[in-house]
Amino acid sequence: MLEEYQHGEVREIRLARVPANALNQPLVVQLTNRLRAASLEGSRAVVLSGSPGMFSGGLDVPMLIALDWNDLQRFMRSVLALQHQLAIQPIPVVAAITGHCAAAAAVVVAFCDYRIMSEGDYKIGLNEVAVGLCPGRIAYHALRRLLGARYADQYVSRGEFVAPPEALRIGLVDRLAAPEQVIPEAIEYAQTFLKLPQQALYETRRIARVDLVALCDEAMRDDSEQLHKRWFSDEA
Helices (H) and strands (E) in the chain, counts: 10, 10
The confidence score (pLDDT) of residue 224 equals 56
Alpha helix locations (H) across 55-136?
61-64, 69-88, 104-110
**What is the DSSP code (8-state) at residue 68?**
-
Residue 225 confidence class, pLDDT cut points 50, 70, 90: low
| pTM of the shown model | 0.95
Task: Please give the Cα distance from 58 to 64 (Å, whole number).
Answer: 12
Task: Please give the Cα distance from 164 to 110 (Å, whole number).
Answer: 15
CB 211 within 8 A of CB 205: no
Task: Quick: pLDDT tens for 41-57.
Answer: 999 999 999 999 999 99
Task: Please give the Cα distance from 30 to 135 (Å, whole number).
Answer: 23
Q: What are the chain's domains?
A: 2-179+197-231 (3.90.226.10)
* Type of residue at 152: A
- As beta bridge partners, residue 53 has 99
- As beta bridge partners, residue 136 has none
pLDDT above 90 covers a percentage of the chain that reads 82
> Does residue 73 surpass a pLDDT of 90?
no
Task: Quick: pLDDT tens for 6-39.
Answer: 999 999 999 999 999 999 999 999 999 999 999 9
What are the CA-CA distances from residue 40 to residues 10, 73, 89 (Å)? 13, 29, 11
The confidence score (pLDDT) of residue 223 equals 54
Task: Please give the Cα distance from 137 to 219 (Å, whole number).
Answer: 7
State the average pLDDT over residues 137-156.
93
CB 19 within 8 A of CB 47: no
**What is the DSSP code (8-state) at residue 51?**
B
Strand residue runs (E) in 40-177: 45-49, 53-56, 93-97, 99-102, 114-118, 124-125, 161-162, 175-177
